[in-house]
Amino acid sequence: MPDTPLFAMSIHEARKRLDEGDISSVELTESVLNRIREAEPAVDAYITVCRETALRQAEAADRAIAEKKAGPLTGIPLAVKDLICTKEHPTTCASRMLSDFIPPYDATVMEKLNQAGAVLVGKTNMDEFAMGSSTENSAFKITKNPWNTDRIPGGSSGGSAAAVASDMCLGSLGSDTGGSIRQPASHCGVVGVKPTYGRVSRYGLVAFASSLDQIGPIAGNVEDAAILLEAIAGHDPRDSTSIDRPVPAYREALAGDVSGLTIGIPREYMETEGLDPEVAGAVNRAVDIFRSAGAACIDISLPYTHHAVAAYYLVAPAEASSNLARYDGVKYGFRDASVKNDLKEMYTETRSKGFGAEVRRRILLGTYALSSGYYDAYYKKASQVRTLIRQGFSEAFARCDVILSPVAPTAAFPIGEKADDPLQMYLSDIFTLSANMAGVPGLSVPCGFTANGLPVGLQLTGNHFAEDTILHAAWAFEQIAGLGAEKPPLQPAA
Residues 347-398 have pLDDT tens digits of 999 999 999 999 999 999 999 999 988 999 999 999 999 999 999 999 999 9
Which residue among the candidates 25, 156, 405, 428 is catalytic per the annotation?
Answer: 156
Category of 260 on φ-ψ map: left (φ > 0), alpha (ψ -120 to 50) or beta: left
Residues 31-75 have pLDDT tens digits of 999 999 999 999 999 999 999 999 999 999 999 999 999 999 999
- Does the pTM surpass 0.95? The reply is yes
Question: 459 near 194, Cβ under 8 Å?
Answer: no
Phi, psi torsion values for 80, nearest 5 degrees: -130, 150
Question: 238 near 112, Cβ under 8 Å?
Answer: no
**CA distances in angstroms from 169 to 7, 50, 138, 343, listed in the order given:** 7, 12, 21, 44
Nearest alpha carbon to residue 261 among 234, 228, 289, 294: 294
Which helix or strand (DSSP H or E) is residue 390 part of?
helix 381-397
Residues in the chain: 494
Residues 268-300 have pLDDT tens digits of 999 988 999 999 999 999 999 999 999 999 999
Question: 363 near 328, Cβ under 8 Å?
Answer: no
Q: For this structure, is 156 an active site residue?
A: yes
Q: How far is the C-alpha of 227 from the C-alpha of 217, rounded, in Å?
A: 9
DSSP state of 376: I
Q: How far is the C-alpha of 409 from the C-alpha of 97, rounded, in Å?
A: 33
Question: 424 near 313, Cβ under 8 Å?
Answer: no
Which residue among the candidates 166, 180, 201, 444 is catalytic per the annotation?
Answer: 180
Q: How far is the C-alpha of 402 from the C-alpha of 235, rounded, in Å?
A: 25
> Residue 257, CB half-sphere, CA atoms under 13 Å: how many?
11
Nearest alpha carbon to residue 331 among 345, 316, 346, 321: 346
Residues 291-350 have pLDDT tens digits of 999 999 999 999 998 899 999 999 999 999 999 999 999 988 999 989 988 999 999 999
- Say what percent of the chain tops pLDDT 70: 99
Interior CA angle at 27 toward 24 and 71, to 5°? 40
Q: For this structure, is 133 an active site residue?
A: no
Span 124-150, mean pLDDT?
98
Taken in order of first residue, the domains within the chain and their CATH numbers are 6-259+460-481 (3.90.1300.10), 307-381 (no CATH)
Which residue among the candidates 81, 144, 194, 418 is catalytic per the annotation?
Answer: 81
Q: For this structure, is 87 an active site residue?
A: no
Strands (E), 307-426: 402-406
